[in-house]
Amino acid sequence: MRRFPNDFLWGGATAANQLEGAYNEGGKGLSTADMVKFVPREISCGKNTETVTYEEAIEIMNGKHDNEYYPKRWGIDFYHHYKEDIALMAEMGFRCFRMSINWTRIFPNGEEQEPNEEGLRFYDNVFDECLKYGIEPLVTLSHYETPLQLALKYNGWENRKMIEFFVHYAVTVFKRYRNKVKYWIPFNEINMSLHLPYTGGAIFIEKSQNELETIFQALHHQFIASALVTKKAREINPNFQIGSMLGMSLYYPKTNNPEDILAAQWANRVNYFFLDLLSKGEYPEYAFSYMKKKNIELKMMEEDLSLLRENTVDFNSFSYYYSLCTSAHPENEEGLIAFVPENEVIDEFHPRKVRNENLEVTDWGFQIDPIGLRVAINEVWDRYHKAIIVSENGLGTYDTLTIDKKIHDDYRIKYLKEHIQQMKICIDEGVKVIGYTSWGCIDIVSAGTSERSKRYGYIYVDSDDYGHGSMKRYKKDSFYWYQKVIKTNGEDLG
């Protein structure tokens, strides 16, 4: 039986906008994430709260909503706690820390020619702290942290000028950290622009005349930006490793009815649409067929397709939390999952999700499916045959801090253990999985709902949904479990 490689990248993952805080320190500008307020679950009904309109953004900037709470502005104050937090990661034995650079710390408004030196120094210090412990940084350039001014002025990635701004930012940090960072990911969950245009693409969709056309145009610009920064990265340091990052949406058919199987095949093609572009450098034909059917006129420059073809990624990475299920006739199904607004387009690229009765669900309705991770890894490996990093995986749920300051999270250990076991089987079968960075290795603000009570970490941060608490860090039971997993290189999962 194969074992995990000796240089396997065990670690954890975070995002600057959910972690750092200090939104108005060090010369940082406002990002799109800084405009998202907290909405209690009993009001939001569990829906994603990342929807901010153009008018609301202007109002927030003018102080009209100062009585509301914007958790991502405060995070868990990693900006001031990074030495303590990285030391805890080192104590667990981390070999890799996936994090993002907040674009607005480097270019506060996105259009500046000269970078903000104080922001650059901050990440110098973070990387130095990681390297002091032998922790390899895995750095995402854009993790839902687009400069707000670019969203307001250009409607984000709808505008091709965003490529120029993004490449300038990327080249700046590539040169600055060329000897400190080896692994880079241009865009986190690049497929999120399809489903959450504001979150993934900094798009105010109400300013668009053709919603689908705007989204696919923005995606095209992100694909070109990814190819260009991949090209620039290799010119700056040929040893750089550039990767894709997908929010894995693995679909099963509801039944063995051929129509359901076809519906699931189409749903899974949405994953391949993104990975084909990043890993193969080409648009799949079904994507052009879809765009033609939807009257989407994609504006391309003459050199775009060759840029994509000549600058593909070195590795593929993806987040995996759950599998999904779909049906050819969802209107006949009971137990539809995931909040779907009435005006959301439901078609091949926007499949309806139905309940899979074979799986348990988390407190947030995510279906728990460890075997699905194995299916996803195998599918991505078989199709692209490039190294894989499972760059996010974890259980978001409620934790209880006991009187003696302990957190007994056996439920999280069980979830992670079962997923790592499936990943290990893939390695045993010859798949080149080179890293595993579980999500939210320290409790951070939720991406989707801006909650703090939805906890993923091995490290508990004493702060509630409204930011009340001491911000003290406490080790959960899972901290010591993961420490043992890394120390034994995945051999002891007990």
Which active-site residues does the annotation give? 189, 392
Displacement of CA 232 from its chain's centroid (Å): 23
Q: How far apart are CA 116 and CA 93, in angstroms?
A: 33
- Quick one: tokens of 68? 């509301």
- Asked if 416 and 394 count as a contact pair (C-beta separation under 8 A), the reply is yes
Tokens encoding 347: 């078609």
- Per-residue b or e along 63-94, where b marks 16 or more CB atoms closer than 10 Å to that residue's CB: eeeeeeebbbbbbbbbbebbeebbebbbebbb
How many other C-beta atoms are found inside a 10 Å radius of the C-beta of residue 478? 31
Distance CA 52, CA 396 (A): 24
Do residues 278 and 223 touch, judged by C-beta distance below 8 A?
yes
Residue 315's DSSP bridge partners are 243, 387
Name the token pair of 397. Answer: 């749920």
Give the C-alpha separation, 116 to 141, whole Å: 16
Q: Is the dihedral of CA 424, 425, 426, 431 positive or negative?
A: positive
Q: Burial code of 435-469, b = ≥16 C-beta within 10 A, e = fewer?
A: bbbbbbbbbbbbbbbbbbbbbbbbbbbbbebebee
Single out the residue of 190, 254, 269 nearest to residue 227, CA to CA. 190
| Spatial contact of 240 and 186, defined as CB atoms under 8 Å apart | no
